[in-house]
């Protein structure tokens, strides 16, 4: 008897080995076992599994159900019955069997995964997410994914990508590999690909919370607030006490202009997490946006009190521009910088904050030293090629010729609603926006990401050694597609038009690279170029720490080259679309404010309103670094501030070249 049993066990092992590569052969072996040992449970299970693999679903189903009836406390059998009912479309019975399986064996990972998919199909999102979270906690990571994760952590993105693509070649539905590949794409700012991969993740695994969170994060990086809301609402339902989810949701509401709601949400977090420095930082940001400066300062100070080494809180105080640090503040920041264990993320923020503190104190040599250190740390942490902008400008000049533009006259949406303010950051664009937003017919919004998003879709990135296809891809767009793109822009930006005024402002600075696209999809939109002197503008960027995106600002050489590219491409559009762009020079605005405001309003087709001269009295949410400056009357102190640092600006002057003299010789308005 023992020999016979051993022989059966050997045959079962052989049949199990055949299941994946030759299920028909496995079925034959199982059938022979059952001929000699009728009702053998393991052989019956094996035969049913093999028949299902061969497409004999009805026979397999009957066998699984009979086995489960005979062995009601077998978790694997209940799992197989659940899969059988699922294949038959009998979802209620499938859910019952799978729930019985995980009741019997709580660590049965694949049963939890199947339950998650069933709950998703029934619209039970909370149960779906909970089941997938359980599956994910049980599933063992593949070694290849561990290697890819290690490469990613060490910023070896090419290596990580190759490992992940190899894994997806073997398992196209490996959602963890898809999610990791999305993170690689996001690091390269290929958000179109990152979003596509994460949407595929969620199609394959609707309860995959980490993929949903990543998608919300990447949308936040692009400041696409509207699609973030449903993602984060679901995450918060799944984990109502998750601080990060709720903070991100508050930020999304803030980006949409829902300042009261965003502030209310942060205040709720303060009640629950009174000792969390990140919550107080977020509260300070909301108060700053709302113009509640004393309260914002107090919130930032509280964040510092909770964690003295929190560089971002110190920089946020400096970034208010109106705060003057005390000697004790400066001593405290210097003490933090002397720590050997302070992370670079905090260190660079302290450097920028100390640069501002010493600038206010008139210690310009020390100030520049701190600004330079902060920029060097930031530049070392980002992957950026200034030449990519030059190449984009060259492609733009080649495409947008007078003939090309004439052949597409009349294309796009006829809406006159948008007013685009573009140019270099720190050139006075927030001031121009505040002037226009003070008009009764104009609503100020923020830096909207939609046009750069279109450029991403059309192939603006240079990736994997392949040349970028933008703006050449615009040549292939039909009149109908250009109209659709213009209408899509209006639809996507509509959530930001809370006041419903006839015109609204899109203040994304980098849109200067897309003037041609804007003209084709929105031919009646107004375009304003806010310009400031090369040295003044570039140094203002150098001493400003941007949280993301403005990668050219962390090197004097990069800044000079970027400014040159900006001037070059705007000169091209002045030539091929004369009069299309209205230019506002910051220095002229300071010198003859009312005349410049009248010219600006005339270009926008707006009547003169006295309130535009009193822009600082306009109450609205302002999200840029200049928020406090435009809440005061116009002053000219900043025009020549760069001169304090002239001894150290040689690399910038060299990179700017003759652009400096050209600006000095520009015709006055």
Instruction: Write the CA distances from 660 to 393, 510, 539, 663, integer angstroms.
Output: 20, 21, 13, 5
> What confidence score (pLDDT) does residue 627 get?
47
> What confidence score (pLDDT) does residue 108 get?
86
- One DSSP character per residue, 328-384 reads HHHHHHHHHHT-TT--HHHHHHHHHHHHHHHHHTT-HHHHHHHHHHHHHHHHHHS--
For 519-534, the pLDDT digits (tens) are 999 999 999 999 999 9
Residue 63 has pLDDT above 80, yes or no: no
Q: How many CB atoms lie within 10 A of CB 23?
A: 19
Containing 584, the helix (H) or strand (E) segment is strand 581-585
Residue 535 has pLDDT above 80, yes or no: yes
For 154-163, the pLDDT digits (tens) are 888 888 999 9
* DSSP designation for 142: P
For the entire predicted model, the pTM comes to: 0.79
* Nearest by Cα to 283 from 255, 309, 263, 258: 263
Query: Rounded to whole angstroms, how far apart are CA atoms 145 and 22?
Result: 28
Hey, what are 128's tokens? 């779906």
Residue 2 has pLDDT above 60, yes or no: no
Query: Rounded to whole angstroms, how far apart are CA atoms 562 and 426?
Result: 14
For 195-246, the pLDDT digits (tens) are 999 999 999 999 999 999 999 999 998 888 899 999 999 999 999 999 999 9
For 603-644, the pLDDT digits (tens) are 999 999 999 999 888 764 555 554 445 445 666 666 788 999
Domains of the chain, earliest start first: 2-138 (1.25.40.10), 154-381 (1.25.40.10), 416-664 (3.40.50.300)
Hey, what are 408's tokens? 């597409």
Hey, what are 310's tokens? 């929190």
Hey, what are 536's tokens? 């003044």
Nearest 5°: phi and psi at 28? -65, -40
Interstrand relation of 526-531 and 418-423 (parallel, antiparallel or unpaired): parallel
Query: Rounded to whole angstroms, how far apart are CA atoms 92 and 100?
Result: 12
* DSSP designation for 321: S
Query: Rounded to whole angstroms, how far apart are CA atoms 468 and 152?
Result: 24
Banded pLDDT at 66 (limits 50, 70, 90): low
Hey, what are 149's tokens? 């994760």
């Amino acid at each position: 008897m023992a020999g016979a049993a051993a022989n059966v066990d050997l045959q079962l092992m052989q049949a199990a080995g055949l299941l994946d590569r030759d299920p028909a052969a496995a079925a034959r072996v199982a059938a022979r076992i059952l001929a000699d040992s009728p009702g053998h449970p393991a052989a019956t299970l094996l035969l049913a599994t093999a028949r299902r693999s061969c497409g004999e679903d009805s026979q397999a189903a009957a066998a699984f159900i009979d086995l489960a009836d005979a062995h009601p406390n077998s978790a694997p059998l209940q799992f197989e019955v659940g899969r059988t009912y699922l294949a038959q479309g009998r979802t209620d019975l499938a859910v019952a069997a799978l729930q019985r399986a995980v009741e019997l064996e709580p660590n049965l990972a694949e049963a939890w995964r199947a339950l998650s998919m069933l709950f998703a199909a029934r619209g039970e999102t909370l149960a779906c997410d909970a089941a997938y979270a359980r599956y994910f906690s049980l599933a063992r990571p593949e070694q290849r994914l561990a290697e890819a994760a290690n490469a990613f952590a060490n910023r070896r993105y090419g290596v990580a990508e190759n490992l992940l693509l190899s894994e997806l070649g073997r398992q196209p539905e490996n959602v963890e590999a898809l999610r990791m590949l999305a993170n690689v794409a996001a690091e390269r700012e290929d958000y179109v690909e990152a979003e596509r991969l994460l949407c595929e993740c969620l199609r394959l695994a609707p309860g995959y919370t980490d993929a949903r969170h990543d998608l919300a994060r990447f949308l936040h990086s692009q400041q696409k607030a509207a699609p973030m809301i449903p993602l984060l609402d679901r995450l918060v339902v799944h984990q109502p006490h998750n601080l990060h989810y709720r903070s991100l949701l508050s930020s999304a509401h803030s980006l949409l202009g829902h300042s009261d709601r965003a502030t209310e949400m942060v205040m709720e977090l303060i009640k629950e997490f009174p000792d969390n420095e990140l919550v107080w930082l977020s509260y300070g940001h909301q108060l700053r946006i709302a113009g509640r400066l004393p309260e914002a300062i107090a919130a930032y100070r509280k964040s510092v009190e909770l964690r003295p080494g929190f560089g971002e809180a110190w920089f946020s105080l400096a970034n208010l521009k109106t705060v003057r640090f005390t000697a004790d503040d400066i001593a405290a920041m210097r003490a933090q910088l002397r720590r050997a264990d302070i992370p670079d993320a905090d260190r660079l923020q302290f450097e920028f904050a100390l640069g501002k503190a010493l600038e206010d104190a008139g210690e310009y040599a020390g100030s520049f030293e701190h600004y330079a250190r902060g920029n060097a740390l930031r530049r070392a942490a980002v992957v950026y090629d200034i030449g990519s902008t030059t190449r984009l400008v060259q492609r733009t000049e080649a495409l947008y010729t007078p003939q090309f533009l004439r052949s597409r006259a009349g294309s796009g949406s006829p809406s006159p609603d948008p007013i685009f303010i573009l140019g270099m950051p720190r050139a006075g664009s927030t001031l121009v926006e505040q002037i226009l937003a003070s008009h009764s017919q104009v609503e100020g919004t923020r830096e909207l990401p939609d046009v750069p998003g279109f450029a991403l879709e059309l192939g603006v990135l240079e990736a994997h050694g392949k040349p970028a296809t933008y703006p050449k891809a615009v040549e292939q767009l039909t009149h109908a597609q250009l109209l659709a793109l213009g209408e899509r822009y209006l639809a996507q930006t509509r959530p930001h038009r809370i006041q419903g005024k006839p015109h609204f402002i899109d203040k994304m600075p980098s849109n200067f690279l897309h003037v041609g696209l804007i003209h084709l999809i929105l031919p009646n939109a107004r375009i304003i170029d806010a310009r400031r002197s090369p040295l003044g503008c570039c140094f203002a960027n150098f001493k400003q720490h941007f949280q993301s995106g403005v990668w050219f600002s962390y090197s004097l050489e990069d800044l000079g080259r970027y400014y040159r590219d900006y001037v070059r491409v705007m000169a091209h559009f002045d030539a091929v679309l004369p009069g299309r762009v209205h230019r506002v020079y910051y220095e002229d605005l300071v010198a003859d404010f009312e005349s410049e405001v009248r010219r600006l309003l005339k270009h926008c087709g707006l009547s003169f309103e006295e309130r535009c001269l009193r822009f600082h009295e306009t109450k609205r949410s302002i999200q840029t670094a200049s928020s406090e400056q435009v809440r005061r009357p116009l002053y000219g102190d900043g025009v020549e501030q760069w001169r304090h640092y002239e001894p150290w600006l040689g690399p910038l002057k060299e990179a700017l070249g003759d652009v400096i003299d050209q600006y000095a010789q520009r015709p006055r308005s």
